[in-house]
């Protein structure tokens, strides 16, 4: 059901500074930059050999990423698995006893459809299931 690691989400306090660090230290530049008012997050997506690195800065302290930074500080926030059909994948994980955070797939950043799985049901890891438009989770 999982086709690949689509991206890894990293929480940062200062997105511009983090982008500059990645450009300077690793020689990579973001492919997309996007923000979601609903999620209260601004994010930049880099590509490294087909795997995304998503740097995320909260727009508000009470947003999910804002609360994560408060509790845990900067660091790895989630792992996103690419799937062909996010709705079907969410049914599969629910049947396997995991706890989706979303009842239905919802629009993600960068033109995707996503569903998240609660870390308490998945070994402490926040998992994002992602179906990317025009890309299929499979590529």
Give the binding site for Co ion (CB under 5 A). Answer: 9, 54, 80, 128
Kindly state the smallest distance separating residue 71's Cβ from Co ion, in Å.
Answer: 18
Kindly state the smallest distance separating residue 68's Cβ from Co ion, in Å.
Answer: 12
Minimal CB distance to Co ion: which residue? 9
Whole-angstrom distance, CA of residue 127 vs CA of residue 35: 20
Kindly state the smallest distance separating residue 77's Cβ from Co ion, in Å.
Answer: 8
134-138: long-range contacts, CB 8 A cutoff, minimum separation 24 = 136/3, 136/82, 136/84, 137/3, 137/4, 137/6, 137/81, 137/82, 137/83, 137/84, 137/86, 138/3, 138/4, 138/82, 138/84
């Amino acid at each position: 059901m999982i086709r690949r690691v689509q991206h890894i989400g990293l929480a940062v306090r200062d997105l511009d500074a983090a982008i500059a660090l990645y450009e300077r230290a690793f020689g990579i530049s973001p492919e997309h930059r996007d923000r979601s008012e609903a999620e209260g997050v601004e994010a930049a997506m880099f590509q490294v050999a087909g795997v995304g690195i998503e740097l995320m800065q909260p727009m508000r302290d009470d947003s999910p990423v804002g609360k994560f930074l408060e509790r845990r500080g900067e660091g790895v926030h989630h792992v996103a698995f690419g799937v062909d059909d996010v709705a079907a994948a969410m049914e599969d994980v629910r049947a396997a006893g995991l706890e989706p955070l979303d009842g239905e797939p919802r629009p993600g950043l960068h033109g995707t459809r996503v569903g998240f799985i609660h870390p308490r049901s998945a070994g402490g890891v926040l998992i994002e299931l992602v179906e990317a438009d025009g890309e299929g989770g499979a590529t």
